[in-house]
């Protein structure tokens, strides 16, 4: 929702969900208030960078498949495997747009906010009642996404992440550079290993890498490289469901697995965050076409 005046280049939308559309000389994109969800971003003159499923569900209080879902305050089903909803409440809560401006060059700057009053108490009974989240989005020829968590009078503990889906021509012709030598936990086998060379894809992949390094997604099919620079993220998750899991996922087309890769800036499990009273924490991704 928003009560603010929108500048030229940013317009409100109400279908399939309430949100805003960015359309400037620098880029186009869509952000829904449900989950402060970036559903698309296309720099001027380029292919879309952010991927969204054709079968995504657009219902208030429901996670959207694709785009940039927010993970907060837990990852997956939580450390003990019992938390619900999956990946926390931030991505299914209604955020409020509190700032919107467009520079002369066409770069849109947006700030969305969520506080405890916007979260269903039944889903987050353990959270303090005075926290605040802000999502800062700078959308132009590059895309910067900053998730900020502010603690009130009570310390705030959480896992977090930017669950970014990137469009690629063919996952089988895609590799991720920047993780060579990094330790990772394979969530499919429960084993820990060390990455050798670039990450390539020949089957379902679900790994948590211990790395603060920037990533490069090299897409041979579309002959482009995406650069992902991180701040405030101790780990990267690399995920693709491949054939069988895609077919078993209701909001994912049977063949869509080949056209995206998830590369997520996260702080989860042993790297979870504690914010002391009156303090804040920022996790950020800046995405560009290298």
Over the chain, what is the mean pLDDT? Answer: 97
User: With 80 as the cut, is the pLDDT of residue 27 above it?
Assistant: yes
Task: For residue 66, list its beta bridge partners.
Answer: 52
pLDDT of residue 125: 79
- The tokens of 147 are what? 């998730």
- pTM score: 0.97
pLDDT score, position 53: 98
- Is pLDDT of 289 > 80? yes
Q: What tokens appear for 5 in the block?
A: 């005046």
Once rounded to an integer, what is the mean pLDDT over residues 16-35?
Answer: 98
Q: Percent of the chain, pLDDT > 70?
A: 100
Pair 181, 206: CB distance under 8 Å:
no
Task: Identify the structural domains of the chain with CATH numbers, from first to last.
Answer: 10-289 (2.70.98.10)
pLDDT of residue 70: 98
Cβ distance 53 to 69 under 8 Å?
no
Residue 17 — φ and ψ, nearest 5°?
-145, 160
Two structure tokens written together for 193: 């290993």
pLDDT at 7: 98
Asked whether 241 and 232 are in contact (CB, 8 A), the reply is no
Q: Write the pLDDT tens digit of every residue in 106-140.
A: 999 999 999 999 998 888 878 999 999 999 999 99
- For the segment 60-74, the average pLDDT, to the nearest whole number, is 97
């Amino acid at each position: 929702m928003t009560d603010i005046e929108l500048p030229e280049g940013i317009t409100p939308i109400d279908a399939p969900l309430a949100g805003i559309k960015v359309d400037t000389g620098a880029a186009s994109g869509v952000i829904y208030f449900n989950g402060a969800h970036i559903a698309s971003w296309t720099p001027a003159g380029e292919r879309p960078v952010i991927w969204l499923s054709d079968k995504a569900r657009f219902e208030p209080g429901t996670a959207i498949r694709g785009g940039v879902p927010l993970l907060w305050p837990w990852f997956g089903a939580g450390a003990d495997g019992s938390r619900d909803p999956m990946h926390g409440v931030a991505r299914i809560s209604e955020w409020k747009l509190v700032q919107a401006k467009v520079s002369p060059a066409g770069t849109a700057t947006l700030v969305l906010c969520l506080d405890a009053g916007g979260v269903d108490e039944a889903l987050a009974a353990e959270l303090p009642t005075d926290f605040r989240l802000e999502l800062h989005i700078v959308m132009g020829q590059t895309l910067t996404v900053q998730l900020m968590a502010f603690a009130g009078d009570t310390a705030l503990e959480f896992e977090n992440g930017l669950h970014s889906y990137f469009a690629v021509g063919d996952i089988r012709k895609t590799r991720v550079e920047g993780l060579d030598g990094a330790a990772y936990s394979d969530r499919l086998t429960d084993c820990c290993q060390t990455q050798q060379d670039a990450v390539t894809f020949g089957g379902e992949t679900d790994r948590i890498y211990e790395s603060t390094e920037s990533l490069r997604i090299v897409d041979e099919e579309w002959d482009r490289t995406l650069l992902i620079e991180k701040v405030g993220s101790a780990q990267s998750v690399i995920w693709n469901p491949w054939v069988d899991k895609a077919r078993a996922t209701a909001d994912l087309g049977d063949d869509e697995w080949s056209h995206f890769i998830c590369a997520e800036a996260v702080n989860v499990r042993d790297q979870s965050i504690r914010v002391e009273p009156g303090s804040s924490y920022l996790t950020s991704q800046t995405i560009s076409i290298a």
